[in-house]
Amino acid sequence: MQSTAAAGNPKRGGRKRAQFSRFEDFCASFNICPTLESLPDKFPFLSAYAWLYRCGELAPTGAAVKSRTAEDAVRLISQTLEELGIGDPRSNSDTKKMDVRWTRLWRDWSKYDDPPKRVKPIPLGILLEAQRIADSNGSPAMKAAARMMWVAYFFLCRPGEYCATVDDGNKFFRLCDVGLRNGAAALDLATAPAEDLRRATFALLEFTEQKNGEKGEKVGQYDSGHPAASATKAIAEQVLHLREHGAPSDAPLCSYWHHGRWYLVTPPAITMLLRDAASNVGHKYGIKPEDISARSLRASGAMALLCADVDPVKIRILGRWKSDTMLRYLHIQAPTLVRGLASGMLAAGDFSFLPETRQYRLVADEQPDGLYQD
């Protein structure tokens, strides 16, 4: 059972093993086989497990969890049983489809969940303060973290794309995935003079196995013109660092050389840098250190584009979003985004319908007698 649960993504396999182990203990306390084959109707027993998990009694942290977390726990158990050839215990034996009771249960529980706590986009001022901290510190780790921060911000990257996560299912960019141009001329990363790389006007990243990236898809960004806040400059400096220390072409872009060995920039390192910056200047922007993390950078870049009146379709293309999920990252409370909307609504709100039009009839029919008369 344990080897079956480990199949596929290593991280998810580990979660399956841990979840099924908890479920086995739960079944043992009732003297029931964890395959549930002795139960004609598996919903009552499995839903009882889900309830205790949601309440925190069976959850790893001992604290209550949201409905989606309890749903995922049942899903992992069900997938393990299905992989063993026993079948999905959530399916209806007659219709072979998902038992409608599960759908209703998750929908009902979700109504009582607290609102989701999403990471906040980070204002540019905090990112510039993070760059100042990295420059002041001067360590290879801090400098590399700051460079990858700009890559994530301008390319709308997920953490698994621009730094090393514990999830082996995510693939970060390699040195060979990078391209730099100066005008129309492509630069040879291995032989081009350092000053030529630093003067690059365009940076290109090729997606190989990144999430939601089409293999071989290339995304580029022009230099922003800022001396520090530029993905092009950050990539050029990172390439020079890797080249200086003899990194191979397949070296992770997020790697850096320190004290005679290679290290990788990680999400906690970037989160620490961002929160240090927020501790210094976050009060100016209404941002607390705990409001942000490495995951905020993708939302930050998208938010900046939206506030710059960039077409949402273009934002989706740059961010490789397959759906409108992008909108969840963009917070409407940003003053820049809503500036001018109220006055615009006031100026354009004094409209009327021409008689004998469909719109006129629809509005007139909805009004009380005498309220909307010619």
Lowest model confidence (mean pLDDT) among 29-33, 82-86, 237-241: 82-86
Lowest model confidence (mean pLDDT) among 91-105, 240-254, 258-272: 91-105
User: pLDDT tens-digit profile of 40-93?
Assistant: 999 999 999 999 999 999 999 899 999 999 999 999 999 999 988 889 999 987
User: pLDDT tens-digit profile of 176-188?
Assistant: 999 999 998 999 9
| Contact in structure between 123 and 307 (CB atoms under 8 Å) | no
Instruction: Write phi, then psi, for 256 (nearest 5 degrees).
Output: -150, 155
Query: What ranges make up the beta strands (E) of the chain?
Result: 178-182, 185-186, 202-207, 217-222, 255-258, 261-264
Lowest model confidence (mean pLDDT) among 5-14, 110-119, 270-279, 340-349: 5-14
CATH number of 124-329: 1.10.443.10
Kindly state the percentage of the chain with pLDDT values over 90: 61
- Residue extents of the structural domains in the chain: 2-110, 124-329, 346-374
What pLDDT is attached to residue 75? 94
Place of tokens 């409608």: 100
Indicate yes or no: pTM above 0.85: no
What pLDDT is attached to residue 312? 84
Helix and strand totals (H; E) in the chain: 16, 6
pLDDT range class, residue 267, cuts 50, 70, 90: very high
pLDDT at 331 over 80: no
pLDDT at 166 over 90: no
pLDDT at 170 over 90: no
Q: State the chain's mean pLDDT as an integer.
A: 86
pLDDT range class, residue 2, cuts 50, 70, 90: very low
Do strands 185-186 and 202-207 pair parallel, antiparallel, or not at all (unpaired)? unpaired
Across the strands, what pairs with 217?
207
pLDDT range class, residue 160, cuts 50, 70, 90: confident
pLDDT at 353 over 60: no
| Contact in structure between 130 and 149 (CB atoms under 8 Å) | yes
CA distance 294 to 271: 5
pLDDT at 3 over 90: no
Place of tokens 């001022």: 125
Q: Is the Cα torsion angle 170, 173, 177, 180 positive or negative in sign?
A: positive
Average pLDDT, stretch 298-309? 89
What pLDDT is attached to residue 6? 43
